[in-house]
Chain A
Amino acid sequence: NAGVTQTPKFRVLKTGQSMTLLCAQDMNHEYMYWYRQDPGMGLRLIHYSVGEGTTAKGEVPDGYNVSRLKKQNFLLGLESAAPSQTSVYFCASSLTGYSNQPQHFGDGTRLSIL
């Protein structure tokens, strides 16, 4: 099993450009999450999904959209990138919310907005 795979690993965008970050998991997990990590602020939840076709807002959802069309994939979109969205983005997944199983993280995507 590859676990949680994020693509791309690095990306540089100009302000106003759009892009999509892809998260894929092969563990048959129901729940998936997108976090951003900024220096000195830990991990903050952007959006999450508790199953195929469902999404919900986390702590810092503004400026982002997500989709979960397939159980194994969770996409994070930036429609009009802003310098404040420069960050490291981590995707995570877990079996369910009741399974006593931890959240497993991907390797992250380092995104710079110029």
Chain B
Amino acid sequence: GENVEQHPSTLSVQEGDSAVIKCTYSDSASNYFPWYKQELGKRPQLIIDIRSNVGEKKDQRIAVTLNKTAKHFSLHITETQPEDSAVYFCAAGRMDSSYKLIFGSGTRLLVRP
């Protein structure tokens, strides 16, 4: 079946450093790739998304890159801050009649002050 692999499962960085989380997807028809941030006990919240017609998207300190040939996409957070500490989930899916998302298993990011 379709799946999304996410690495690493945990990531600890010093405040101010960069963090990179990587995902690989299996369904070559996927055309939509969102990233969600989930703080402890809270709902997942969309932080950035990318569609298959672009290779990179930036929003202030966060960016996402997509390599459709390799079926890889990555989240980059620069100048990390303690409030970036959370669990991050990638997902892959199709913007179509069903719009189902397959989620990765999550990365717990800890930013040390």
Interface residues of A (CB under 8 A from B): 31, 33, 35, 40-45, 48, 50, 56, 58-59, 90, 94, 96-98, 100, 102-108
| In the bound complex, CA of A97 to CA of B93 (Å) | 10
Q: What does the 1/0 interface line of B45-56 toward A look like (CB < 8 Å)?
A: 110010100000
Give the residues in chain A near B106, CB-CB below 8 Å: 40, 42
Give the residues in chain A near B45, CB-CB below 8 Å: 105
| In the bound complex, CA of A75 to CA of B4 (Å) | 27
| In the bound complex, CA of A96 to CA of B99 (Å) | 8
Sort chain B's interface into a size bin: 20 to 34
Give the residues in chain B near A40, CB-CB below 8 Å: 9, 105-106
Decide if B51 touches A100 in the complex (CB within 8 Å). yes
Number of contacts between A and B (CB, 8 Å)?
63
| In the bound complex, CA of A107 to CA of B46 (Å) | 14
Decide if B99 touches A43 in the complex (CB within 8 Å). no
* B91 (CB) vs chain A CBs: closest residue: A43
Decide if A97 touches B104 in the complex (CB within 8 Å). no
Give the residues in chain B near A103, CB-CB below 8 Å: 34, 46, 99, 101
Per DSSP, chain B at the interface is loop
Decide if A90 touches B89 in the complex (CB within 8 Å). no
Give the residues in chain B near A106, CB-CB below 8 Å: 43
Decide if A59 touches B1 in the complex (CB within 8 Å). yes
Decide if B42 touches A45 in the complex (CB within 8 Å). no
| Contact of A107 (CB < 8 Å), options: B6, B34, B42, B105 | B42
| In the bound complex, CA of A28 to CA of B113 (Å) | 42
Give the residues in chain B near A100, CB-CB below 8 Å: 51, 95
CB-CB contacts below 8 Å: B79-110 with A: 89, 91, 94-106
Decide if B43 touches A105 in the complex (CB within 8 Å). yes
In this complex, which of A40, A59, A103 has the most chain B Cβ atoms within 10 angstroms of its Cβ? A103
| Contact of B95 (CB < 8 Å), options: A35, A56, A97 | A97
In the complex where A40-B9, A90-B43, A107-B42 touch, is A98 in contact with B1 (Cβ < 8 A)? no
* B48 (CB) vs chain A CBs: closest residue: A102
Q: What does the 1/0 interface line of B27-54 toward A look like (CB < 8 Å)?
A: 0000000101000001111100101000
